[in-house]
Amino acid sequence: MTFFKRVLSTIVGIFIFILLCFLFIMVIGAAFGSSSKDQVIVKNNTILELKLDFPIQDYAAKTKIKDFPMLNDNQEIGLLSIINAINYAAEDDKIKGISIDNNFIDAGISQTKAIRDALLEFKKSGKFITSYADIYTQKDYYLNSVADSIYLNPAGVLEFKGLSTERLYFKDFQEKTGVKMEVIRLGKYKSAVEPYLENEMSEANREQIKVYLNGLWNVMTQEISESRNTTVANLNTIADNLDTRNANKAIASKLIDKVAYYDQYVNDLAALTNTDADDLEKISIKKYSSTVSKKRILNKSKNKIAIIYAEGEIIYGEGDEDFVGQGTINKALKKAREDDKIKSIVLRINSPGGSALASELIWREIELTKAVKPVIVSMGNLAASGGYYIACNANKIIAEPTTITGSIGVFGVLPNINKLANTMGINAQQVKTNKNTIMYSPFQPLDETQRTFIKESVSDIYELFTTRVANGRGMTQTAVKAIGQGRVWTGTDALKNGLVDELGGLDLAIKYAAEVAKIEDYKIREYPVFETNLEDMLSKFGLVKAKEVILKEELGEANYKLLKQIKSQTQKKGIQLLFPFSTEIN
The catalytic site residues sit at 190, 385
Listed residue (382, 286, 261) closest to 52, CA to CA: 286
Report the alpha-carbon angle 376-568-411, nearest 5: 75
Residue 321: other Cβ atoms inside 10 A: 17
* CA end-to-end distance (rounded Å), the chain: 64
Half-sphere exposure of 279 (CA within 13 A, CB side): 9
DSSP helix/strand/coil, 256: coil
Buried b / exposed e along 34-55 (16+ C-beta atoms within 10 A):
eeeeeeeebeebbbbbbbbebe
CA 158 to chain centre: 25
Listed residue (399, 400, 412, 472) closest to 440, CA to CA: 412
The answer to whether the beta carbons of residues 432 and 378 sit under 8 Å apart is: no
User: For residues 539 and 553, what is the distance between their CA atoms, to the nearest angstrom?
Assistant: 14
Listed residue (288, 312, 266, 262) closest to 55, CA to CA: 312
Query: Residue 202 class from Cβ within 10 Å (0-12 exposed, 13-18 middle, 19+ buried)?
Result: middle
Half-sphere exposure of 552 (CA within 13 A, CB side): 7
The answer to whether the beta carbons of residues 96 and 125 sit under 8 Å apart is: no
Residues 6+ apart with CB under 8 A from 517: 303, 305, 343, 344, 373, 374
Listed residue (80, 85, 89) closest to 60, CA to CA: 80
Q: To the nearest 10°, report the CA torsion of 102, 108, 114, 117.
A: 50
Inter-CA distances, 298 with 302, 317, 523, Å:
12, 37, 10
Total number of residues shown for the chain: 586
Residues 6+ apart with CB under 8 A from 188: 204, 485, 486
DSSP helix/strand/coil, 561: helix
Backbone angles phi, psi at 221, to 5 degrees: -70, -35
The answer to whether the beta carbons of residues 486 and 577 sit under 8 Å apart is: no
Listed residue (84, 4, 179) closest to 523, CA to CA: 84
- Among left, alpha and beta (phi > 0; psi -120 to 50; other), residue 556 is left
User: For residues 118 and 116, what is the distance between their CA atoms, to the nearest angstrom?
Assistant: 5
Report the alpha-carbon angle 160-166-169, nearest 5: 170
E-assigned strand segments in 341-427: 342-351, 353-355, 375-384, 396-399, 404-406, 410-416
